[in-house]
Amino acid sequence: MSDTTDWQAFAVELAENAKRNLDAKDDEIDRLKAQLKEAEDKGRVLVGMCRDLKARVAELSEALTESQDWSWIDAHEDMIDRALSKYPIEEMQRLSDLEEKYRFSQQAERAANAILTDRIEELETMVKVFRGCIETGLMPKPGSPCHDMVIQLVGERGDD
């Protein structure tokens, strides 16, 4: 009888080991299924991104092709040729001179505006300094650029 019980104990142990192995394999299968699902989800996202990127590349490629269309230069040259045939050379030169003067006056106006803007900023700073002097009753440090500017604008004390 001892052989039968040993054999039965061995069979029970084998069955338990097989069940543990099956359970472990089931757990591994579940884990792999979850990884597969996650990879499929990521793959779908990547496919969507690739589709969007391909569309953007096509759009940019089309824009590049359009920007390389040099026909506008020919149209501009044709316009110049038509203008030259319509107007005498002297008149075209006069118009060109006027255009140059206009361009120069625009540049001069921009430079003057820049100078005025700098002066306005300088005066705004001085107003802030004067306001501070009036509110606190203190003058800037003697010899400082701010003090020199105050003296230039309002004069020394007693210069009335």
pLDDT for position 147: 76
Q: Which residue has the higher pLDDT, 76 or 18?
A: 18
In a domain, 146, yes or no: no
In a domain, 12, yes or no: yes
Domain count, the chain: 1
In a domain, 21, yes or no: yes
DSSP 3-state assignment of 157? Answer: coil
Q: Is the pLDDT of residue 34 over 70?
A: yes
Q: Is the pLDDT of residue 16 over 80?
A: yes
In a domain, 6, yes or no: yes
Structure-block tokens of residue 52: 């969007």
- Could you give the CA distance from residue 87 to residue 95 in angstroms, rounded to a whole number? 10
Query: Could you tell me what percent of the chain has a pLDDT over 70?
Result: 81
Mean pLDDT of 56-75: 70
Q: Is the pLDDT of residue 2 over 60?
A: yes
Mean pLDDT of 143-156: 75
In a domain, 65, yes or no: yes
In a domain, 95, yes or no: no
Q: Is the pLDDT of residue 6 over 80?
A: yes
Radius of gyration, CA atoms only, the chain: 44
The range of the structural domain enclosing residue 41 comes to 1-69
pLDDT for position 129: 73
In a domain, 115, yes or no: no
Q: Is the pLDDT of residue 1 over 60?
A: no
- C-beta of residue 133 within 8 angstroms of C-beta of residue 140: yes
In a domain, 31, yes or no: yes
pLDDT for position 92: 67
- Could you give the CA distance from residue 4 to residue 6 in angstroms, rounded to a whole number? 5
- pLDDT tens digit string along 69-124? 666 666 767 777 776 666 666 766 777 777 887 777 788 788 888 888 888 887 78
What is the pTM assigned to this prediction? Answer: 0.33
**Mean pLDDT, the chain, as a whole number?**
77
